[in-house]
């Protein structure tokens, strides 16, 4: 009986390993397609500012890895913290370069072998992603308010920004209430199930029920560990701040002056579009959206694209190269522990 169960698990483990390996290959292909842009911006950058930018990007990944450890601790995962940081770094690189499912696949592959459950892994990953995206979205109205009071705008521009700020605040408030209110979240999920069944004639109720239960469990754990929750918020905020500072020094490295509020606005709109983008690695989406927003405020589009491209190189590509050694050690461990 035990041998039968082991045989059933073995093909699944091999399939999971192959899937994660293919995701790594996708990351390498993304870098290959962008190789000309990499060489273009790398040759134009001033190394002093570039070194500072890379330092803040390293800090961002460090804080992101630690935040994953804290979130897993909230979900009662007691795996060695240094091991979790390694997993957090590699999976964060995959999430940023490819998509969140790539990070989730890697975490499931390695953490389940150390006693973590699917519910703990999925719940911690989704909640952490929610908090980080929430910080991004909150920064948009904050940066727009900053721009209104510090940047010369005509009345029409101010009116449009006030309208955008109002819509974003309402959207953020509604999303937060749905996330933290179990009854309202259950109602919304039920409406989604009925709408999806009406449109596609497919039943997604079991999947959404599992999602709802996972989120509910995460909220309960956060209420039990309020201190850890505050630590998590500080880590996520620091991570985002380090990212934005890294982007700022990318523009400084290219000699492109950008107003701080405008930079934060462009960055967060770019991140928002990449969240809803279905393009692997968000190729061109982030660069075009950041450059487009900056162009509205007077930054030449070509310079905005160059700054965003340089940020892509040091935030996505350089960490990917450094993560390959960690990834290989994790993969070797999985192979040795596969039944």
Kindly report the number of other CB atoms within 10 A of residue 262's CB atom.
21
The pLDDT of residue 165 = 62
CA distance 272 to 136: 8
Q: What is the pLDDT of residues 289-304, one digit of tens each?
A: 777 778 877 778 777 8
The pLDDT of residue 135 = 84
In this structure, the chain runs to a length of 339
CA distance 297 to 14: 51
The pLDDT of residue 121 = 85
CA distance 116 to 68: 13
The pLDDT of residue 62 = 96
* Sign of the CA dihedral with 227 first, then 229, 230, and 234 last: positive
Q: What is the pLDDT of residues 232-285, one digit of tens each?
A: 989 999 999 999 999 999 888 888 888 777 888 788 777 666 655 545 555 556
**CB neighbours of 163 closer than 8 A, spacing ≥ 6?**
none
Residues of the chain short of pLDDT 70, as ranges, are 1-45, 151-162, 164-165, 168, 172, 178-180, 204-205, 207-212, 214-215, 271-285, 334-339
- 247 in Cβ contact with 267 (< 8 Å): yes
CA distance 59 to 239: 7
pTM of the model: 0.75
Kindly report the number of other CB atoms within 10 A of residue 74's CB atom.
22
Kindly report the number of other CB atoms within 10 A of residue 77's CB atom.
18
């Amino acid at each position: 009986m035990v041998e039968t169960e082991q045989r059933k698990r073995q093909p699944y483990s091999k399939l999971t390993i192959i899937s994660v390996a293919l995701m790594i290959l996708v990351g390498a292909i993304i870098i290959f397609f962008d190789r000309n842009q990499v060489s273009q911006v790398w040759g134009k950058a001033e190394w002093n500012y570039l070194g500072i930018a890379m330092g803040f990007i390293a800090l961002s990944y460090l804080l992101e890895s630690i935040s994953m450890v804290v979130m897993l601790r909230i979900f009662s995962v007691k795996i060695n913290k240094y091991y979790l940081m390694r997993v957090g770094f590699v999976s964060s690189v995959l999430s940023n370069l490819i998509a969140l499912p790539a990070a989730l696949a890697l975490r499931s592959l390695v953490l389940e072998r150390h006693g973590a459950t699917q519910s703990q892994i999925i719940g911690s990953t989704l909640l952490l992603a929610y908090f980080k995206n929430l910080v991004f979205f909150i920064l948009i109205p904050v940066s727009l308010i900053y721009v209104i009071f510090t940047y010369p705008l005509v009345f029409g521009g101010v009116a449009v920004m006030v309208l955008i700020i109002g819509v974003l605040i309402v959207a953020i408030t509604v999303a937060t209430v749905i996330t933290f209110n179990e009854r309202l979240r259950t109602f919304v999920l039920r409406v989604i199930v009925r709408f999806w069944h009406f449109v596609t004639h497919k039943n997604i109720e079991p999947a959404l029920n599992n999602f709802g239960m996972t989120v509910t469990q995460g909220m309960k754990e956060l209420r039990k560990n309020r201190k850890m929750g505050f630590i998590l918020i500080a880590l996520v905020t620091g991570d985002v701040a380090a990212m934005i500072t890294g982007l700022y020094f990318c523009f400084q490295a290219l000699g492109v002056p950008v107003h701080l509020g405008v930079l934060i606005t462009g960055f967060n709109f770019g991140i928002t579009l990449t969240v809803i983008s279905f393009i692997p690695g968000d190729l061109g989406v982030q660069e075009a959206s950041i450059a487009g927003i900056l162009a509205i405020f007077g930054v030449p589009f070509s310079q905005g694209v160059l700054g965003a491209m340089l940020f892509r190189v040091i935030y996505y590509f350089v960490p990917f190269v450094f993560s390959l050694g960690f990834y290989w050690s994790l993969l070797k461990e999985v192979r040795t522990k596969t039944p």
